[in-house]
Amino acid sequence: METRKEIAAEKKRCNSHNCAQAVVQTYADIAGIDDATAMNVANAFGGGMGNMEGTCGALVGAGIVLGLVNKDKAKSMKQMRVIMNKFQERNCATQCKLLKGIGTKVVLRACPDCVADACEFLEEQLTNNN
């Protein structure tokens, strides 16, 4: 699979998408959905799940893509765990609030970079499907 992580990161960088939308729309064709559906299904996951600064939206987007591609709960959960662990290892957090430095004033990772990381790890899992 040719990487699409920079395409997704640019969608976030130019502020046309939230983090989840950037991931889901970038892989909409693989997930079997159209662009409008991708945008709608992920629209509540900006700002760390409903703007509550929870789990990074890019990770949520990766999970949505896995579910649509796999159509298998156990497989998707297993692959999501791998993605979460790799993301945590690279960025020292999976929570939007911590990644953005809210409360700590120490930004661990900018949103476009979080999107690129989530996509990188998603692509690894999608490649492992084949």
Looking at the structure of the chain, the number of domains it has is: 1
- pLDDT of 54-106, one tens digit each? 899 999 999 999 999 999 999 999 999 999 999 999 999 999 999 999 999 99
pLDDT at res. 58: 97
* Amino acid type, 111: C
Phi then psi for 25, rounded to 5 degrees?
A: -70, -35
pTM of the predicted protein model: 0.95
Report, in angstroms and rounded to the nearest whole number, the Rg of the chain calculated over CA atoms. Answer: 13
**Three-state SS for 95?**
strand
pLDDT at res. 52: 74
pLDDT at res. 130: 60
For the record, the structure tokens of 71 come out as 């159509």
Domain that holds residue 32: 5-129
Question: In Å, what is the CA distance from 5 to each residue of 16, 24, 26, 47, 71?
Answer: 16, 11, 8, 19, 23
pLDDT, mean of residues 104-130: 95
pLDDT at res. 116: 98
**Three-state SS for 83?**
helix
pLDDT at res. 48: 77
- pLDDT of 2-61, one tens digit each? 999 999 999 999 999 999 999 999 999 999 999 999 999 999 998 877 777 889 999 999
